[in-house]
Structure formats: C-alpha cells, structure tokens
C-alpha cells in the first residue's frame, strides 16, 4: 500500500492510505493554501452571522439540541463554545487506541479544511501541531450514539486545544494545559461556532472504518494463503479454483480469491502427487473457499466505498455554504452510512474466520484429515499438539457471531426527543475492531496448524506461495514438537497479518495478490 510521507489537507482528496500512514506516525500533515482560502471565506460568513445579524443561527447565537430556541447574547458566543466542549466531554470507559485518536485528529482537521464549517485557520493549525508534536488527547471510547456525529469523543479530543481535558505526551497522561506547554504550544480561545465545528462530525467512526478496511483487505489475502496451505496439507483438489468455473459466476471477489489460490499452488509437488487420486470432492471449507472468501471481498468493496466518501465529507451542523452565503442546519452528521458499513465490516471479517476455523478442524481431526496424525503431533497422548489451538479458534469465531449482531438496527432517542433517531455507529465501530482482532488470531491459528501439517508430507514440497508462507511462519514460530504454550506464537502471527509483514513475505515470492 503506497503511503504519502507529507500530506497537505484540502478537504477533498484524503485517502485511506493517508489515514493509515498518519495513524502509524509515518506522515507529516499540514493545511494547503487552498484550504486556508476556503476556510477564511467561510469564517467571514460566520463572523457576519455572529456579529452582524439578528437572525437565529444554530450554535452561533442559540443553544444546542433541545435548547435551540434559547438566544445567546453576542458577547457570550465564545463562552458558549467553551461550555459546549466541557458539557459534551463526558465519555466513559477505556480510551480509544492511539491509532484511532491520531486518525480522528487528522479527519477532523480535514473536515474543517473543506471550508464548510467556519473554523479559524489558527484553530485547525493548532490541532495539526498537536498531532505532529505528539500531544494525544485522552478520549474515552464509550458515550457516542453516532447521531450528531461523535459528540462526546470529539469534545474530549478538542479540550486540550483550549488547555483543558487530558492528553498523553511522551507516554505520560497529563493535563491538556501541561501537554500543550510541554510541546511548546499555547492554548486557543474559541470564537463563534468553533466548538460546534470541532465536535459535530463522524470522525471516530470514520477512523475505525479507514483503519479497519486496511486490516480487512490484508486479512482477505492472508486467508487465501492460509486456505492454500490447508488445501496442500489436506491434499485437496485444485480444480475448484479453475478460472473457467468462476467466469460462469462472474463475481469479482470470488474470481480474485480463486486466482490467488492457483498462483500460490504453482509449483506444488504435493498437488501433483495426488492428481489422479480417487477423491471426487473436497469439503466445502476447501471447495467453496473462493465463494465464501469472495463474498467477504465484495462486501468490503461497499465498506471501502462508503469510508472513502466519508473521509472528505462535510459533516458539520450548521454547514457554511459560502457561494450561497448561507448557514444551513442539516443532517450530514448522522452516522447511519458508517454504522451500516462498520457492521458489514464485522460480518465480512467474521465469516473469513468462521471458514478458517472449519479448516483447522479438518487439519487436527484424524477422521477428516486424510492421514495426518491426530492433532498434528507425533506423540499423541503425552502431547496434545494442536488440540487446544482449535478450541481457541472456535472460541474466537463464536464470540464474533455475538459481536456481529448489527448495532446499526438499534436506536434510542436523545436530547429530549430532538435527536429521535440515532445510528449507534460508535458501537458498530467498537465491535468491528474486536471482530478484526479475533479474526486475525483465528487465521493465525490456521497458518500455524497448516505449517505443521504440510511438514508431515515431506519430502513432497508445496507450491511456491505456500513455501514462502511456511518459511515466514517458521521464522516466528518453531515447529511444535513437545507441547509448549502457543499463545505468543498466535499473537505474533496475528500481528504480522495486521501490519502486512506476512503478506509482504509471500508476495515477494509470488507477486502481488489480488
């Protein structure tokens, strides 16, 4: 995945790969001149509404939510914005991962750079300085219903900008004021509409979507590799993956998955050795792998399309329409598109783990494995081998099934009925993140079991792609002889799936997979 090392925000062209780079701390971010011009034009319109108009304009000279009918005197417009942050920063629970917070900071800055919110250039530059200098706001992960966007989380994100709240700096959690001072920064004083502009948006949901789709795309290719290794170990047929079959049901994901398996099998002495065996059909977890893996790929296309739009969307309320000289109340902050997409992300990944676990069962079960030793150990009874790793995989996929109940079909009214339908997109995001982690670990177990299993077929060699995958697994996890704990091995392989190093090692041998 190509990544930029310097990103200039325009509000219009941020990519998923940019978000991943910033989340990992691999790219510097600044405002473009184009963004500054757009923001100043929008700011002029806000200033006129705040100081030169008697019309009620939501969030500028009115209260918020149900208090929309309450007028706010002109001299208190700045105080209104500060109190907004304080009142909305009441999230609870463990904090978001640092990668999510960094991504949300980037996405909020990009949304403001679009020039439809009316925030001052100086405020966004301070947010980006915090991002660049390592001031990481402390943001509890529970408290958003995904309706006016991620109000509570974004309020926590914004508080350090005014010298309040808490933030991490150099690994230490300190007050927002102290974090700014340690980074050589000064707090800002919010002006009209700026507090609202900082917290109205979908940036935490979108952050999960952007980082989640990168991990999920890696998972889809890694699961094809794991499947091919299991196919080799179980001496399954390559015919189910022939392109002639998949052209008759031309779903893109299905065809890509099948093509990956054939490429990974290329050069396989194992496959050639049983070419004329009397086994007619393989089990569905092998024979139907392209159809299952491919369906997840196609679902992720929808997820990625939604997320790609959201990264450059204007989700504030009210929006500043400079050309029309209007500040308009609207509903772009509603998280329903992302809630659906995040639930779909969870479902797509869970199904990959589900079918992977079924292949692990075939590898360890002597009634299904076609001659492999029970639980892939040579001294069964004294050793349990891969008996319990299969339990662990079963536990993970079972947990996923519970987590995949969609949050997006739920709603609960808030703000005294003013916000009478909400998306629960944050809940969808948190669940999808856990499903991703569970699925990476379940797939790691298949790779460990598959690597052990193909060794029992020596001296026959697997295909070039499987050989590369096997070599990578063995570089992390030695062959299991006498029993030992495999917890660290599973976690290490799961991390390599997430960070892309496993995939890179295999693709170095066979070329880029679909």
**Active-site residues: which are they?**
58
pLDDT for position 60 = 77
Give the gyration radius of the chain's Cα atoms.
26
Instruction: Yes or no: say if 400 and 350 are a contact pair by the CB < 8 Å rule.
Output: yes
pLDDT at 12 over 70: yes
pLDDT at 281: 86
In whole numbers, what is the pLDDT of the chain averaged over residues? 94
Provide the token pair at 54. 């008697």
Neighbours of 170 (CB within 10 A): 10
Q: Which of 207-211, 275-279, 405-409 has the lowest mean pLDDT?
A: 275-279
Q: Span 469-490, mean pLDDT?
A: 98
pLDDT digits (tens, 9 = 90+) for 298-340: 999 999 999 999 999 999 999 999 999 999 999 999 999 999 9
**Structure confidence at residue 307 (pLDDT):** 98
Q: Is the pLDDT of residue 258 over 80?
A: yes
CA atoms within 13 A on the CB side of 7: 31
In the predicted model, is pLDDT for residue 68 greater than 70? no
- Residue-wise pLDDT for 419-473, tens only, equals 889 999 999 999 999 999 999 999 999 999 999 999 999 999 999 999 999 999 9
pLDDT for the residue numbered 4: 74
Judge whether 103 and 207 are in contact, CB under 8 Å: yes
* Cis geometry, peptide bond prior to residue 459 (ω within 30 degrees of 0): yes
CA dist list (Å): 371 to 141, 236, 455, 493: 49, 13, 13, 27
pLDDT classification of 71: cutoffs 50, 70, 90: confident
What number of other Cβ atoms are within 10 A of residue 281's Cβ?
11
Please tell me what DSSP assigns to residue 373.
Answer: P
pLDDT for res 54: 64
Stretch 384-395: mean pLDDT, rounded?
98
Predicted confidence at residue 419, as pLDDT, reads 86
Q: Are 359 and 448 in contact (CB under 8 A)?
A: no
Structure pTM?
Answer: 0.95
**Mean pLDDT comparison of 73-82, 95-104, 270-279, highest-scoring range:** 95-104
Instruction: Calculate the alpha carbon distances from 148 to 51, 54, 242, 321 in Å.
Output: 26, 25, 49, 19
Domains of the chain: 6-201 (1.10.275.10), 208-318+332-410+427-510 (1.20.200.10)
- What is the pLDDT confidence band of residue 394, given thresholds at 50, 70 and 90? very high
Confidence of residue 415 (pLDDT cuts 50, 70, 90): confident
pLDDT in tens, 349-383: 999 999 999 999 999 999 999 899 999 999 999 99
Strands 28-31 and 6-9: parallel
**Sign (positive or negative) of CA dihedral 374, 376, 379, 383:** negative
447 near 228, Cβ under 8 Å?
no
Query: What long-range pairs does 246-254 form, CB within 8 A, spacing at least 24?
Result: 246/290, 249/291, 251/294, 251/295, 251/298, 252/294, 252/297, 252/298, 252/301, 253/220, 253/293, 253/294, 253/295, 253/296, 253/297, 253/298, 253/301, 254/290, 254/291, 254/293, 254/294, 254/295, 254/297, 254/298
| pLDDT given for residue 314 in this prediction | 96
pLDDT at 424: 95
pLDDT over 90 at 64, yes or no = no
| Residue 66 in this model has a pLDDT that exceeds 70 | no
pLDDT at 65: 64
- 116-160 per-position pLDDT tens digit: 999 999 999 999 999 999 999 999 999 999 998 899 999 999 999
Q: Which residues pair with 8 in a beta bridge?
A: 30
Pairwise CA distance, residues 12 & 125, whole Å: 17
């Amino acid at each position: 995945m190509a990544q930029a090392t310097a990103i200039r925000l325009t509000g219009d062209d941020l990519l998923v790969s940019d978000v991943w780079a910033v989340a990992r701390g691999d790219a510097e971010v600044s405002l473009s001149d184009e963004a500054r011009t757009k923001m100043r034009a929008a700011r002029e319109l806000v200033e006129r509404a705040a100081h030169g108009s008697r019309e009620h304009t939501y969030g500028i000279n009115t209260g918020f939510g149900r208090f929309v009918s309450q007028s706010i005197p002109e001299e208190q417009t700045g105080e209104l914005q500060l109190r907004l942050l304080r009142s909305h920063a009441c999230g609870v629970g463990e904090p978001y991962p640092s990668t999510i917070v960094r991504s949300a900071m980037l996405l909020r800055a990009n949304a403001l750079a679009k020039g439809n919110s009316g925030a001052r250039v100086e405020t966004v530059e301070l947010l980006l300085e915090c991002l660049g200098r390592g001031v990481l706001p402390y943001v509890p992960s529970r408290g958003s219903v995904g309706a006016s966007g991620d109000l509570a989380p974004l309020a926590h994100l914004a508080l350090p900008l005014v010298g309040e709240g808490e933030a991490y700096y150099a690994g230490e959690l300190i007050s927002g004021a102290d974090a700014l001072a340690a980074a050589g920064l000064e707090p800002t004083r919010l002006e009209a509409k700026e507090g609202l502009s900082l917290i109205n948006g979908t940036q935490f949901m979108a952050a999960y979507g952007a980082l989640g789709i990168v991990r999920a795309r890696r998972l889809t290719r890694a699961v094809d590799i794991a499947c091919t290794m299991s196919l080799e170990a179980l001496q399954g047929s390559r015919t189910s993956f022939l392109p002639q079959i998949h052209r008759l049901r031309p779903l893109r994901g299905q065809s890509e998955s099948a093509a990956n398996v054939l490429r990974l099998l290329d050069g396989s002495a194992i496959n050639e050795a049983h070419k004329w065996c009397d086994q007619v059909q393989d089990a569905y977890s092998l024979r139907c792998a392209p159809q299952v893996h491919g369906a997840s790929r196609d679902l992720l296309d929808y997820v990625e399309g939604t997320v790609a739009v959201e990264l450059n969307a204007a989700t504030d309320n009210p929006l500043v329409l400079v050309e029309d000289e209007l500040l308009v109340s609207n509903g772009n902050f509603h998280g329903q598109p992302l809630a659906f997409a995040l639930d779909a992300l969870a479902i797509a990944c869970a199904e990959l783990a589900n079918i992977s676990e079924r292949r692990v069962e075939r590898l360890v079960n002597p009634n299904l494995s076609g001659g492999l030793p029970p639980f892939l150990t040579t001294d069964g009874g004294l050793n349990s081998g891969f008996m319990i790793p299969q339990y662990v995989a079963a536990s993970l996929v079972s947990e996923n099934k519970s987590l995949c109940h969609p949050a997006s079909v739920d709603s609960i009214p808030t703000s005294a009925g003013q916000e009478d339908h909400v998306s629960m997109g944050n809940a969808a995001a948190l669940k999808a993140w856990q499903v991703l982690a569970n699925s990476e670990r379940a797939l790691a177990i298949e790779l460990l079991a598959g690597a052990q299993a193909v060794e029992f077929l020596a001296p026959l060699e697997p295909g070039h792609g499987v050989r590369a995958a096997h070599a990578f697994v063995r570089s992390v996890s030695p062959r299991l002889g006498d029993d030992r704990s495999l917890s660290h091995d599973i976690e290490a392989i799961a991390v390599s799936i997430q960070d892309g190093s496993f995939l890179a090692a295999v693709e170095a041998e066979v070329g880029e997979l679909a």
